[in-house]
């Protein structure tokens, strides 16, 4: 999950971008792994839309991306992290425990997307099994949504099989990983 914020400006400058995925952990990892209570999770899910609206009303362009990885791909990435000395540092005890909670994480994801998606700060869901495609899709989406000098919106269209604006049908249709 990535929360991206951009200050409204005639052109983006260094320091205008903030990426922070941990803020939504209260709705995902903390909920599933028992690091917070149900009451704390509920308070978070109620507060998020209003907080995001406050940011948008203050002139911040708020873009939210959920990078969705399949169970199969997640398993492959964890295997690679275990065996590759250059990637072992990415592996945590939470990662190891998370696989047993795949269904719980899927339910938490669905609740978070449903409860925090709103017109002022909609979620864009990106299929991220292929890291290269996912990264390009996020970059393309940012380029279509952030004003900058010389912008060519048509040149940066995002492939709908990789990235889509969140809606409830993505859950019921199976478009999101299960």
Q: In this structure, are residues 26 and 48 in contact, taking their beta carbons and an 8 Å threshold?
A: no
| Of residues 154 and 5, more confidently modeled | 154
The pair of structure tokens assigned to 125 is: 């869901």
The whole-number pLDDT of residue 153 equals 63
User: What's the rounded mean pLDDT across residues 96-121?
Assistant: 94
For the chain, which domains are there?
2-172 (3.40.50.300)
Q: What is the pLDDT of residues 4-38, one digit of tens each?
A: 544 444 455 544 545 567 889 999 999 999 999 99
Q: What is the pLDDT of residues 38-76, one digit of tens each?
A: 999 999 999 999 999 998 898 888 899 999 999 999 999
Write the Ramachandran bin of 15: left for phi over 0, alpha for psi from -120 to 50, otherwise beta.
left
pTM of the model: 0.85
Alpha carbons 120 and 54: distance in angstroms, whole number = 10
Q: Which residues of 117-137 are buried (b: 16+ CB within 10 A; e: fewer)?
A: beeebbbbbbbbbeeebbebb
Q: In this structure, are residues 166 and 117 in contact, taking their beta carbons and an 8 Å threshold?
A: yes
The strand pair at 123-127 and 163-165 is best described as antiparallel
């Amino acid at each position: 999950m990535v929360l991206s914020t951009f200050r409204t400006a005639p052109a983006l400058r260094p320091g205008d971008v903030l990426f922070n995925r941990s803020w939504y952990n209260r709705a995902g990892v903390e909920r599933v792994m028992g690091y917070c209570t149900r009451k704390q999770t509920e308070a978070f899910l109620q507060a998020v839309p209003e907080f995001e609206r406050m940011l948008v009303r203050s002139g911040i362009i708020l873009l939210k991306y959920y990078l969705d990885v399949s169970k199969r791909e997640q398993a492959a990435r964890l295997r690679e992290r275990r065996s590759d000395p250059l990637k072992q540092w990415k592996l945590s005890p939470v990662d190891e425990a998370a696989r047993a909670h795949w269904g719980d994480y899927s339910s938490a994801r669905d609740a978070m997307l449903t409860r925090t998606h709103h017109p002022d700060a909609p979620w864009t869901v990106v299929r991220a099994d292929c890291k290269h495609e996912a990264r390009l899709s996020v970059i393309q989406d940012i380029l279509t949504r952030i004003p900058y000098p010389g912008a060519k919106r048509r040149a940066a269209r995002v492939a709908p099989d990789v990235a889509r604006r969140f809606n409830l049908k993505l859950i019921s249709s199976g478009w999101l990983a299960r």
